């Protein structure tokens, strides 16, 4: 399996939107408008993984000096700071037919390198309880339960120091 990882481009909007819909419940998936905003304003923090020319994974993010990542408006990059010390992952999406093949791990490894090149101090993310073990194996540590109520779910804050 040859996964090609590259920065996202505006022409990837539709494929990334479809991938979000396959990966997350409707109330949690990013809307097309937010995907477009993330690609146009912070493409360096948006990577995609391709197999045979098809996007099967993506990670997208924003940058901030804040530690609190529960602000819903931030998902539309309101308050985004290019030079912020922290990078915040909004979504790690892998097409369900390609899950459990190590793609998320490959994507996250590349995302960590991208974040280091941008001289970020930490990567922050929110995840559900069932994914905490996966992120811990990738070097993230649990901070605690988040104040976020996105999609009506219980979220956990995690971070990785760079």
User: 50-64, 70-84, 100-114: lowest mean pLDDT where?
Assistant: 70-84
pTM above 0.75, yes or no: yes
Assign domain 4-125 to its CATH architecture: 3-Layer(aba) Sandwich (3.40)
- The kind and range of the H/E element at 126 are strand 122-127
For the chain, the distance separating the N- and C-terminal CA atoms, rounded to the nearest angstrom, is 28
Would you give the DSSP letter of residue 125?
Answer: E
Q: Which residue has the tokens 């819909």?
A: 21
Least confident segment among 69-78, 118-127, 153-162: 69-78
Q: How confident is the model at residue 154 (pLDDT cuts 50, 70, 90)?
A: confident
11-42 CB burial, b ≥16 within 10 A, e <16 = ebbebbbebbeebeeeeebbeeebbbbbbebb
How many Å apart are CA 71 and CA 11, to the nearest integer?
A: 28
Which residues contact residue 99 at a Cβ distance below 8 angstroms, ignoring those fewer than 6 apart? none
Work out the pLDDT band at 69, boundaries 50, 70, 90: confident
pLDDT value of position 19: 97
The pLDDT confidence band at residue 73, using thresholds 50, 70 and 90, is confident
DSSP 27: T
Tokens, residue 26: 């409707």
Is the pLDDT reported for residue 72 higher than 80?
no
């Amino acid at each position: 399996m040859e996964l090609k990882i590259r920065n996202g481009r505006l022409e990837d909007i539709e494929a990334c939107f479809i991938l979000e819909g396959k990966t997350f419940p409707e109330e949690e998936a990013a809307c097309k408008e937010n995907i477009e905003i993330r690609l146009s304003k912070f493409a360096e923090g948006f990577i995609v993984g391709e197999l045979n020319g098809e996007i099967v994974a993506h990670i997208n993010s924003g940058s901030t000096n804040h530690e609190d990542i529960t602000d819903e408006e931030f998902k539309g990059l309101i308050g985004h700071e290019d030079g912020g010390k922290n990078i915040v992952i909004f979504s790690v999406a892998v097409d369900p037919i390609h899950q459990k093949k190590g793609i998320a791990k490959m994507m996250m490894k590349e995302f960590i390198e991208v974040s280091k090149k941008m001289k970020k101090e930490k990567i922050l993310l929110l995840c559900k309880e069932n994914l905490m073990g996966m992120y811990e194996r990738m070097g993230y540590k649990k901070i605690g339960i988040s104040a976020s109520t996105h999609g009506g779910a219980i979220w956990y804050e995690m971070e990785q120091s760079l």
